Each structure stands twice: as structure tokens, then as C-alpha cells.
Structure 1
Amino acid sequence: MSQQLPYGSWPSPLTARWASASSLRLDGAAFVGDEIWWGESLPDEAGRVAVMRRAIDGSVEAVLPAPWNARSRVHEYGGGAWTASDDGVLFFVDKSDQRIRRLRPGGEPEALTPEDGGTHYGGLRWQRGTLLAVRERERPGATPERHIVRIDGASSGAASDPVAAVSELAGGSDFVAQPALSPDGSHLAWVAWDHPDMPWDRTRIRVVDLDAPHVVRDVTSGTTAALQPEWSADGDLVLLDEPTGRWNLYRVDPASSVEPVAMSPADADTGGGLWVLGTRWYAPLDDGRVIAVRTHGSDQLVIIDREGGAIPLPFAATARLQIDDVRGDRALVSGTMPGATGLWVVDLDSGEAIAVRGGTPDVDEAWIPHARQVTTDGPHGPVHAFAYPPTNPGVSAPTDELPPYLVWVHGGPTSHVGGTADSKAAYFTSRGIGVLDVNYGGSTGYGRSYRERLKGQWGIVDVDDVAAAARGLAADGLADPGRLAIEGGSAGGWTVLAALVGTDVFGAGISRYGVGDARALAAETHDFEARYLDGLIGPLPEAEETYIERSPLSRPERFRVPLLLLQGDEDAVVPPAQAEAIRDALVAQDVPHAYVLYEGEGHGFRRTETIVHALESELAFLGQVFGFATPDVAPVELA
């Protein structure tokens, strides 16, 4: 028989350390010979990204040992920091100096690129015996220069002249990504875009004949956000494009003038925000089929046959799915299922999935909340969200009490959340605190028109949408309207702060490295996002007044409810000065708050001790503000 206790104070075995350990941060995977390799951020090693391997006998060991750290700084968000040849040679970018190194079996890492502190590599890809990469070079007084490059001699002996070992294959744009070599190695395809666009605004898929490098052809219109060029076994180019308003698969003969043809039209997205180099939403198979991720709210794994039919695979994971690699009738797929993140080998004929890393909740499923898809009418149109109710098999709540809810606002703002409760959600719901995860206007996963709802309206549409979703939950009698809190990181932190000064919906806020001053962000941020705000707010200097009006720090007198600020001291995307300015405004307004600055952390927390402390601080903060006991965590000192 369950005991009856107030919401928020339910005892739970799901600790913050459990939540940290269950929240795997995987960074790519590949079939290498008879083994499976993957990248993994290790919180117990300060977030170092190691490359691991699982042998055919099931044993697991590190390919890339400490202190090496496979992290790229291209675009600041990195990605694609390692790849491998079929014979077990690892190529990786080390965080410390951003050089590409080669690690042969039984050997030591050896540098393939020159020592140059202003040069970064990422998006590594081993194809047709060739090592491809995106190179980013900083230039004094100018924007960085980026190229698709080939590392010559990567598979042979040590490079005697590293400078000569790097050949430029493609450039001419502010940004380049996702290089792909044709089956015969004669043609290169890639994604290109220029300021002020972001890769979800307008891009081009470009193709060059490597024997005639001055002849470059665009195979997409340049008016849409085309993504991820790949080559089929018969030499056609496959890509993602959205002329209909949905990212779908297209096929084209790059040597012809014929427009790309849709392979399997759907009212769902195969594609998303290209924040991280190496992201892949599909993969062509040798037999002409394609395995792809389709998103409309939640993710679904599908096989697209040669006739354009889409066959769903019975796959448990429905969020953050990525196709990491394919070989024959098997695929490596990473993603999140209820209570666990994992990497699986998926049989493409039977649909059977075998976990390689993670992929299985290490607690009874009774502790994991089931998502309820919620759509609310907002002032700008429908607002999509997922609700996770308080869930604890040993406790029930008083019948006259409604639960507190924590409203999550994802970053980006061009990101997306799927309907799968991760370990952090379970940490709160098991204690009697509901979670509402909102895909506000601007999110991917619902088509271009939903994504572009935020154009010029950042700080308005996002705020209105999360407020509408929270009010809707309370109006349905599912949440206590007096105990609604809001939490978000980065762009989500902006929405937290803007909602606190612009609405009276929330009784508390938690901002992780959030933006408080849009004008300062535009002046200080890195090149990848240097013109992002042109589309979200407006171009400068014409929109100067709008930047000031929208910024939460322009309305400090509107801060009235308690606020928890969490920040990394090495954050290059949203510098600590933003959080410190918010803290100073809260002090001036005598608003209860706490500011925690984590040493050695950047944009997104990676260390176990940071993740645990931040999560426990959030719980303690909510208990102190909303009046429920949290005996298993230390209190937060509110100034």
C-alpha cells in the first residue's frame, strides 16, 4: 500500500548521481572491422570525450585513453571530432590544440596537421580511403575562413611535412559542413551557407568535380535549408530539402540539369538544426533502400524502400535519434528511450535492436513517467509540448492537492524535444514534481512554418507559447497554478528571463547560462551565431531599439520571483558577464536569488560533480520557494 505524502517531498531512490550516470553523452559511432566504436563524454573525467570499442566477444575498452580528449571547436559546438578506417586506425581532434592526430593499433597518437592555435578541425569523415575534415582558420580583424580539406597521406606513414599534407577541396562560403565523396571518389558534395543565414534558414548543396575543381555546381535552389548530401551506391546524390515546408529525402543525378526528385514525401521532418558537425538523420543502404529518422513531435525510425514506401521499425527510442553508421543490413542508431540514452545495433530486416552502450533503464520502469503529448492553443497558433506527471510507485498525493510543475524550455532556440522522459525528468517526477517540456514556436520537428514563427519575434512568441502551455496545463486541473516554475539553458535561459519579466505565470525561474542582454550577445558571441539574431530579432543597427526593448535586463524592475542562475566560467557562447549582470539586477531589486559559477565548465555542463550539484541545487531551490521538504539535498543559500 502506498503512503500519502505532499507533492515535491516524495522519497526517491533516483539520485542526482544516478541521473548523471544515466544521461550518456554519445559522440558518434562506427562499425570498424568486426568491432563497434563510439565516442562518449565521461563526466567522471571532467567530460573528456573518449573513443571506446566493443569487440566481437562483447568486451569493452578505450581506444583513446586519457589524457587525450576528442573535442572539436569548429563553430564552437564542434562535432565529428573522430573517425576511423576499416583497419582500426583512429583519427581524432584533440581538445587541447585542435590538431588532427592518427592513432594506429598498438601505437601512440601522431600529429597529422601543423601546430597552429588559430586553426580548428572538425566534421572528420573517412570515406573511400580518404580523410575529409572541415577546417576553420581564425583571421585577425576578419571572420574565420572555412574549407573542406583532405588530409593527404593519412593512411600511410607519418607525415613528414604536415603543412603540405592538408589540401583544400572546397570553400568560398562563410560556412561549410557535411562533406561526402562519390563512390568513385571523383566528386565531392557538401553543405554551404553564408551570413546572415543559419543552416536551418537557407543553404546550398554544392558539388565539385575534383578533377576540375574550378567548376562547382549548386544542386539545390539556395532558398531552402538543404542538408546532409550522401551518395547512393549507383552514383546518384541523395539529400534533404524542404521545398514543401518539410525536410524530406530527395535524389538527383548531379551530372544532369534535372531538379531533385522526392523519394518518399511525408508530412514529417527528416532533418533538423545543424548545430553539430557530423549530425546525420539518414543513411543510404547498398541495396537502394534508406534508413531515416522521421520527426513529427516524436522521432520514428523508418526504412524507405526503392518504391518510396516507408516501413516503420519497432524501435523503443523516440527522441534524439541519429543514424551513426550502416553496414549491410545493420545500422548503428543512438537516441533516448524512456529512462535511458543508448547506442543500438538495429537489424534493418527484422527491426531487432541490441544495445551496445546504455539503452536499458537501470531502475524499474514503474519509476519512469509516461509522456502525454499536449497541444495548447496559443496567441500565435498551436503550441506543442510533452507532459510528464509525478510518478512514484510507492507514494500517492493528497486528493486535495495539485502538483507543482517545472516547465522546461529547450535551447537553440531552433532545437527540439521528443516525447521520451530522460533520467533528469524522472529525478523530478519521482519526487512529485511534474515536468512540461515545450516545443515552442521556433522549434524544429513540426515543419518550416512552425520553425519560422519565431522570425523577428524572439522574446515574444517563445514567451507567449511557454506561458500558454503552462496555463493550459493548470486550466486542465493537472498542475498547481501557484507552483509553476520555468527552467531553460542558453536560448532557453533567455526565454526563462523574458517570461519572468513579461508574464505573471511562473513563481520561480532557473536559468542555465541564459541570455539577459541581446545587444551584448550580438556584440560578444562567436562567428557561427554572430548574425543569428538578425533573423530572431532584426539586423543591427536598424533594430537597436528592439534589442533593448526585448532584453530582460532592460526591465530589471519586473524581476519579482526567486531565480537560480547556473553558469560555467569558460562559456564562450554566453559569457559569464551575462549571468553576472542578471545577478546584479536581482541584488538591486532585492529579489531572492542564487548565482553558482562552475569552474572549468563551458556551454553545457560536462563534469559529474557539476551535473550533480546543479540538479540537487534545482531541487532544493524549488522546495525552498514552493514550500516542500527536500531532506536528501543541501539547501541553496538565497541572497
Structure 2
Amino acid sequence: MTELCPPHVAGNWPSWVGPELVAGRTLSFSELRTVEDWVFWQETRPEEQGRTVIVGRRHDRTLVDLIPPERTVGTRVHEYGGGAWDVRLKNGYPEVVFSDRKVGGLWFSNREGTFQALSGDRAPEMRYADLTWDTAGDGVFCVRETHDEGLPTAALVHVSHSGQETVLLEGADFYAAPRPSLDGASLAWFSWQNPEMPWTVTRLFVAPIDRTGLKLGRATDLSGQTPCSIIEPRWGVDGSLYATSDAQGCWTPVKFVHDQTGWKEQFFPEAGAEIGLPHWVFGQRTLTPLPDGQLLALGIRKGLTGVLLFADGHWKTVQMGAPVNVPERLSNGQFAWIDAPENAPPALAIGDIDGNFERFRPSVVLPDTITSDDIAKPSLFSFPTADGSKAYALFYKPASSTSHLEESEKPPLVVMAHGGPTGRANSGFAFKVQWWTSRGFAVLDVNYRGSTGFGRKYREALNEQWGVADVEDCLAGVQSLTEQGLVDPARCVIRGSSAGGLTVLSALAQSDLFAAGASLYGVTDLRALAAETHKFEARYLDGLIGPYPEKEAVYLERSPLTHAEKISVPVLFLHGGADKVVPLAQAEAMRTKLAQSDLHVYPDEGHGFRAREVVEDALERELRFYRTVFATSADPAI
């Protein structure tokens, strides 16, 4: 490809991050678990067409694929899935229960082979998630989502090896985390009702399990008097139940102890960090109960993640790498986790609580020629917001061991607006950042108001302000960088996916700070989104915008589609033709109103891109787009 600017110009540097490195060989790890001396995790492999498998590591370091090659693990409950498997040891060998992403149903896999417990072609369609082995019986507890006429319905169910399905509880709009106690005598779970989301108001319950006919006894509500998000129940070895609650302002662990008078609530002291993640997907873990009442936790301070230990009545920070979720304990006292530092690709790790650990099974092996100078590291960046408060971002300077900025040259800037919008920018190494920084771009990954990891007040600052506060913060972050002389004000672009796409388009309509923007499967029409989106997010906009149709005027005003004529710079749209979360029609409608725009559709992709060739094409297409924009508007002397 002929370069549009000389290679020495920032934004056009030769890069070690090729599309085949990002999409072709990079493994993706999630949901690590331990049982005795085994470590298990979910692994997605681009070279196997995005197939997801469960892998086990024995104490002798042998790795074993635990599902057959024709199966792929996954679920579409809530569309975002998660929690599609669980594992236990049977006669010393792993037995896995899982949902197949392509054909559905539930499957069991062990030393003897794999068999299907529930057919994926049942009518009406059944989807299963948050699978948890019955600790005192033959089968699995899980969330079932039934798709028939109208909105899907949810239930807590138990499924035996033979495929016998028992409904334990139904009636709530949503259920999550059915967790049997270690003795199998009780079941904990949480639920919520529309229009709430799991990060606004949930209810935590525990009930005895009547093994005669397999049913639940009278449930006890442990949620307390203050409406809050209380999530992630997890049992301790002493029969205590742990969870994390934001009733006191940020997600903080709480312990429930049962005695003759009932369940007693004991909040842990404030940790100076938020311990909890928004429940977008099933299977997330931020708490690990330890013997003697100790607790290991994943804490987030101003958007940066660390590991905390509660012992002897107080919290302390422990050095255990950079876990994605809380480290899980092995029978020998060591811990395992997915390590995602800022300066190296993710890998699996095993180590102790004193900071001694070994990384194994890297997601990708970097070329031998790469040095630390080639990898951009984030710095915490804060700036004043339009309402006089403070917002946060992660700022990355360009990084290369072979190229550098010319004297007085300022780098182009890529602003990233994360999805959700109830989510956050993460400081772990990511090719989506290195792709740009290695080519001479700076990157600003914005944790605008509404992001998680900063407490409930910061999260709620986006209530009824989506399309306003997030946009203001992205603009304020760019202005702060340009005022400090850190980036080239003439070469700033903004990109975002899903909810971030709305932020991108609104920012382009409201300011002249950007030379171009890219919306990846982004929201353009809020009224259509309210009418068309799936059940999990059907009332999400009630909090972000206001109830619909009562606030229809606000929906219209906040929709980028309404203000398309105000966008005067080029826009690139990338969208999946099979997207059920933000339908393709959203991008198509916006495209027709913009003279300087291009829409590229990947027919078989849903919400988010999985296929190797699609990920590669999307990266290259976006890069060419920005380079063309810069070249068109560049000073002739460049």
C-alpha cells in the first residue's frame, strides 16, 4: 500500500503490531477457576474460527482440552453471555458442564466422553448461563432464559445428568449467580426487576434446599433497607455468605453469618477502592474467601486495578501481578489468575500472596525484537469537567524504539469512548491501544462520568445525562491535552463501539475538535434502540435518558441521527449484519444523512467482531481512513 505521508510523520510510523498479530494468533482468556490442584479457564482461539474451549492444567503442568473439537463454549443469555460452564473433579478427573454457543443446549464432558443433557433445538428456545455444579447432588444449578413469543422469561433451574429439568424459581425479570453452599443445604442468588439494571438495584436472597422433590424453602432477603446493587454471592468454608454491595457508596464486601436468630450482616471496612464489577456478563469474580475469615479482593482505585487482602481487621495491598479477576486459591495454598499487566500481553499465572509468581500460557508471544520502548504504558490523566467536578482517563504517548517525534512535532490523537456506557477503560495491555501508539498516535481512553471503578456517585453522574456528560468529558479531555501541548490539535480523531458510538457521533456534532470519527456497531437513534433492543437492556435507557415514550423529546434531542447535519467531518461506520443489540439499521440510517461517510458491513458478525479476517480488516480499514483524512487536510510541506 502506498503511504499517504512520509514514514517519519507520527501516525505513519512503521509498526511491529500487524493485524495478523492482533487477530491471528492472540488467545483470549476468561473465567479462570481452581478445583483442588487443577487450574481451569475459558480460552478463545482465533485460529480455530473463534472457537472457545475449556482448558485444564494439572499439577504436573500438563494442559488438557476438556471439550471435544466439534464443540464451542458460549451462551447468549442476556445476549452478552458469560458463565457458560463449570467444572468439578470426579474420581480425580475434571467433569465439565457447558452450553454450546452455536447449537445451544447443555452438555456434560468427562473422561468417558461428551454427551448432551438438553437439546439445543427445543421449542421454545432455551438458553442457559451461570452454570454451577450441585455440591450435594447430581446436576447443575443455572439461569434459564426462555425465548418464545414476546420478551424472554427468566428462571432458576436445576438440570440433572439425565436431562431432567426442575424449575426452582421464576417471576423476576432477571436472575443471576445461583450458588449452592458447600454442604448443599442452601442456595444463594440475586435478582432484579425492570427498569433497574444489576448495577442500580438488585436483591440478594438465600433459601434452604429441600432435597425431597428438589425445591427451595422460604427465601430470606439479605439486601438490607437501602436500595443498592448487591451482587456476586460466594460461600466461605465456614458457611458464611459473602457478597459485594454499594449501599455505602461504592461496591464493598459484606459478610452474612447465620445463627439461631437468622442471618447477620457484617460490612467490611472501606478499602479505599471499589470492589465489584458491573454485571454485564455472568461469571465475574472479585472476591475469594480464605481460611480464618480472610478475604482476597480485586480493587479498583481511580480506574486502576490491584489486589487487596483483608486480614487482622484491615485491608492491605498485595503484589500479585495484574489480575483480570480475583486470584483463585489452589489446594497447596498458591493462587492462579489471568495476569494482564500494562506492559505485556495477558497470560495465565500461578504464584503466592507475597508477589512471587510465574506467568505461563501467554495469549501471544511478542517478536524477539520488541523492547520496553515499543510498548506504550498508561498514565492516569484527570481533568475538570463542565460541571466543575473531575473526570479521568488513561493517556498513552506514542511508543517506538525505532521512530520518534520530530522537533516541535505533536502526535495525532485517538480518543476512545468505551462501551456500556456503564463500563470503564482498562489499563491492561491491549492491542487496540498498541495498534495506534506503535504507529505514532497518542491515545486518550476516557473514563467519563458514568464509568465504573469510581464509586456509585460517579456512576450515577450519567443518570439522564447520556449524550451530554460523556461527550463533555471527552471534549474536556482533548482540550486539556491540547492546552498542555501534548497532542496535535489538527489531528485528533475519536472512535467508539456500541454505546461509545453514540458518544463519538454526538461529539462530532457538538464540536470542531476532531478531524474524523469512527463508530463501530454504534448507537445512532435512541428511539429505535428503545423499541428494538433486547430484554436485558430494554429499560436501560430509563436511567440514562428517561422513561420512554414519556421523554420522547429527550430521546430525539440526544440521538445523533437528529443532528447529522451538524457533522462536517468524515465518519467511518463498521457494523455487523447480524447485530441483535444495535441493529444494522442504526448505522444505515445515519450513513444516508452524512455526505462524508462510509459504511462497511460484515454480514455474519453480531455485536462485536469475532472472526479473524473481520478483526484484521476492521483495524486496517480504520487506519487507512484516518491516514486519508490527515493527508487530505495536511500541510503541503509534510
TM-score for the superposition, normalised by structure 2: 0.91
- Bigger shift: residues 613-622 or 39-48: 39-48
Which residue of the partner structure matches residue 636 of structure 2?
none
Q: 2:142 corresponds to which letter in structure 1?
A: A
Identity score, percent: 35
Q: 1:105 corresponds to which letter in structure 2?
A: R
Instruction: Provide structure 2 residue ranges, at least 5 long, that are not aligned to the other structure.
Output: 1-5, 634-638
Contact kept? 2:335, 2:353, Cα under 8 Å: no
Deviation, 1:350, is: 2.7
Q: Does 1:304 align with 2:307?
A: no
What does residue range 113-192 of structure 1 map to in structure 2 within 5 Å? 115-117=121-123, 118-130=125-137, 131-141=140-150, 143-152=151-160, 154=161, 159=162, 162=163, 165-192=164-191
Deviation, 1:253, is: 2.0
Alignment RMSD, CA only? 2.3
Contact kept? 1:44, 1:607, Cα under 8 Å: no
Q: Secondary structure at the match of 2:104?
A: coil
Q: Does 1:109 align with 2:118?
A: no
Change (3 A) 1:326 1:247: farther
Which residue of the partner structure matches residue 378 of structure 2?
371
Which residue of the partner structure matches residue 532 of structure 1?
540
Change (3 A) 1:398 1:412: same
- Bigger shift: residues 492-501 or 18-27: 18-27
Which residue, out of 551, 561, 570, partners 2:569?
561
Which residue of the partner structure matches residue 196 of structure 1?
195
Deviation, 1:499, is: 0.9
Deviation, 1:258, is: 6.0
Deviation, 1:254, is: 4.4
Which residue of the partner structure matches residue 637 of structure 1?
none
Contact kept? 1:337, 1:359, Cα under 8 Å: no
Contact kept? 1:23, 1:423, Cα under 8 Å: no
Deviation, 1:572, is: 0.8
Q: 1:303 corresponds to which letter in structure 2?
A: L
Which residue of the partner structure matches residue 349 of structure 1?
353
Change (3 A) 1:29 1:449: same
Q: Deviations over 1:536-589 (max 9, x none)?
A: 000011101110111000112112111111111111101111111111111xxx
Change (3 A) 1:604 1:385: same
Change (3 A) 1:61 1:596: farther
- Bigger shift: residues 576-585 or 320-329: 320-329
What does residue range 35-74 of structure 1 map to in structure 2 within 5 Å? 35-74=38-77
Contact kept? 1:27, 1:79, Cα under 8 Å: no
Contact kept? 1:403, 1:480, Cα under 8 Å: yes
Q: Secondary structure at the match of 2:293?
A: coil
Which residue of the partner structure matches residue 83 of structure 2?
80
Q: Secondary structure at the match of 2:316?
A: strand
Contact kept? 1:283, 1:326, Cα under 8 Å: no
What does residue range 155-304 of structure 1 map to in structure 2 within 5 Å? 159=162, 162=163, 165-211=164-210, 213-221=216-224, 223-254=227-258, 256=261, 260-296=265-301, 297-304=303-310
Q: Deviations over 1:119-163 (max 9, x none)?
A: 10011122525522111112313x3221222222x3xxxx2xx3x
Change (3 A) 1:64 1:351: same
Contact kept? 1:202, 1:226, Cα under 8 Å: yes
Change (3 A) 1:65 1:420: same
Contact kept? 2:242, 2:255, Cα under 8 Å: yes
Instruction: Give, in whole Å, the separation in 2 of the partners of 1:23 and 1:438.
Output: 25
Which residue, out of 416, 431, 452, partners 1:423?
431
Change (3 A) 1:40 1:442: same
Which residue, out of 468, 473, 488, partners 1:460?
468
Which residue of the partner structure matches residue 402 of structure 1?
410
Deviation, 1:116, is: 1.6
Contact kept? 2:277, 2:284, Cα under 8 Å: no
Q: Deviations over 1:467-491 (max 9, x none)?
A: 1111111111101111111011000
Instruction: Give, in whole Å, the separation in 1 of the partners of 2:174 and 2:525.
Output: 26
- Aligned residues, how many? 612
Contact kept? 1:322, 1:335, Cα under 8 Å: no
Contact kept? 2:516, 2:626, Cα under 8 Å: yes
Q: Deviations over 1:175-219 (max 9, x none)?
A: 110121122211111111000000000001111112373411110
Q: Deviations over 1:575-613 (max 9, x none)?
A: 111111111111xxx22x221111321111111111111
Deviation, 1:74, is: 0.6
Contact kept? 1:442, 1:453, Cα under 8 Å: yes
Q: Secondary structure at the match of 1:274?
A: coil
Instruction: Give, in whole Å, the separation in 1 of the partners of 2:67 and 2:628.
Output: 44
Q: 2:186 corresponds to which letter in structure 1?
A: H
Deviation, 1:16, is: 1.8
Instruction: Give, in whole Å, the separation in 1 of the partners of 2:308 and 2:111.
Output: 36
Contact kept? 2:319, 2:353, Cα under 8 Å: no
- Bigger shift: residues 50-59 or 405-414: 50-59
Which residue of the partner structure matches residue 389 of structure 1?
397
Which residue of the partner structure matches residue 591 of structure 2?
583
Instruction: Give, in whole Å, the separation in 2 of the partners of 1:114 and 1:41.
Output: 21
Which residue, out of 478, 483, 497, partners 1:470?
478
Instruction: Give, in whole Å, the separation in 1 of the partners of 2:278 and 2:304.
Output: 15
Instruction: Give, in whole Å, the separation in 2 of the partners of 1:248 and 1:397.
Output: 44
Q: Does 1:6 align with 2:34?
A: no
Change (3 A) 1:323 1:601: farther
Instruction: Give, in whole Å, the separation in 2 of the partners of 1:421 and 1:342.
Output: 7
Change (3 A) 1:554 1:326: farther
Q: 1:274 corresponds to which letter in structure 2?
A: H
Q: Deviations over 1:443-485 (max 9, x none)?
A: 0000000000000011001100111111111111101111111
Deviation, 1:359, is: 6.3
Contact kept? 2:103, 2:120, Cα under 8 Å: no
Contact kept? 2:37, 2:331, Cα under 8 Å: no
Instruction: Give, in whole Å, the separation in 1 of the partners of 2:83 and 2:569.
Output: 41
Instruction: Give, in whole Å, the separation in 1 of the partners of 2:43 and 2:325.
Output: 16
Q: Does 1:613 align with 2:622?
A: no
Change (3 A) 1:327 1:535: farther
Which residue of the partner structure matches residue 3 of structure 2?
none
Instruction: Give, in whole Å, the separation in 1 of the partners of 2:547 and 2:307.
Output: 39
Deviation, 1:39, is: 1.2
Q: 1:543 corresponds to which letter in structure 2?
A: K
Which residue of the partner structure matches residue 342 of structure 2?
338
TM-score for the superposition, normalised by structure 1: 0.91
Instruction: Give, in whole Å, the separation in 1 of the partners of 2:512 and 2:331.
Output: 54
Change (3 A) 1:17 1:288: same
